[in-house]
Amino acid sequence: MNPNTSHLRALGQSLWLDNITRDLLDSGTLKHYIDEWSITGLTSNPTIFDEAIGGSAAYDSAIRAAAGTGQSDEELFMDLALDDLRRAADLLWRIFLGSDGVDGWVSLELSPLLVDDTAGTIEAATRLAALAGRPNLFVKIPGTPAGIAAIEEVIFNGVPVNVTLLFSREQYLAAADAFMRGIERRIAAGRDPGVSSVASVFVSRWDKATHGVVPRELRNRLGIAVGGSTYHAYRTMLASPRWRRLAALGARPQRLLWASTGTKDPDAADTLYVEALAAPDTIDTIPEKTLKALADHGKPVAAMAADGIAAHETLELFRKTRVDLDALADQLQRDGARAFAQSWNRLLERVAAKRTAVAPT
């Protein structure tokens, strides 16, 4: 086992790969990451699948076989994605069982075009979870206002949820509250409260957004500070009487997940966020490039402080530079939703082009 990745596992943090391709599965690379580099789950998104389908011939035979089925481009893509994610879920199944459902998960993104459609999100999440047919699959729902309303209902319906596109402590707390409301309703209805969820807080985009507008000494510090503040809120929530009551009745914690942990600044360390956000009872969903860097030259680190003091001090420095953190968090979420929608549209265009290119003659 690689010592640089196993160190984080020993610290109590899970490492999930932020990638899924058919080539990763067919080549045995994903199995290698699981067996040797401490990977215990994975996530996906439209950009990942767009690059995977467009960048190789691995999907061509499946696309060709779908000719004449009458499927829409979106339906065909969902079939391709679910095929990959079912295989990955099966590969991670022993981890899922061995960790009592804490690890061993895969995640599937809903159509980003549903970002403002609460009812459509609820319907699509419930339908896709049933279609996937794997208990260790999360449906990804953005933590936007419409998404927050959907999350409560989807959790109440018993569907595991990865809340995505969270950028701040406040957005995280809204997601945690929606999750707990769904669990509370299940308890009131006499249902099993053990529905799993994770809350994905995006980190590096903060620093990319402020790179040119803050003093040099503050560059690449904002995302980590937001993470520290959110981690403090997470630990506080887990210690609250509300959560303790739910846990006593069999509820599972909604785990905090760090997303967007690849370094964007070429002048910064390529393992910057991974090492700074090492924290027990969290997940780092790590890009493949960053995973390779960690395995090659990552350093042992101490766990992130749970009190949030240093994080809040850093956030105050940014406020003094007149960075409106609340407004920027909302803007980052809107920009993220827009970028996912653009990636989704490109992905469907890619699928349509592939259908034409590989169609039987």
Nearest to 154, CA basis, from 113, 116, 196: 196
How far, in Å, are 84, 232, 347, 350 from residue 55 at the CA level?
A: 16, 41, 12, 10
How far apart CA 156 and CA 321 sit, in angstroms, is: 43
Rg (CA), the chain: 20
DSSP state letters, 128-163: HHHHH--TTEEEEEE-SHHHHHHHHHHHHTT--EEE
How far apart CA 338 and CA 98 sit, in angstroms, is: 38
Contact 225, 311 (CB under 8 A): yes
Handedness of CA 310, 315, 318, 322 (dihedral sign): negative
Q: What value, to the nearest 5°, has the Cα angle with vertex 276 and ends 199 and 109?
A: 30
Catalytic residue, chosen from 31, 140, 289, 320, is 140
Q: What value, to the nearest 5°, has the Cα angle with vertex 155 and ends 92 and 112?
A: 75
What ranges make up the beta strands (E) of the chain? Answer: 14-17, 39-42, 106-109, 137-142, 161-166, 197-202, 255-259, 282-286
* Angle between helical axes of 169-188 and 325-358 (0-180°, round to 10): 70
Nearest to 171, CA basis, from 200, 130, 131, 211: 200
> With the CA atoms of 240, 140, 284 and 249 taken in that order, what torsion angle do they form, in degrees rounded to the nearest 10?
30
How far apart CA 160 and CA 143 sit, in angstroms, is: 14
Is 140 annotated in the active site?
yes
What ranges make up the beta strands (E) of 203-293? Answer: 255-259, 282-286
> What positions carry a catalytic annotation?
140
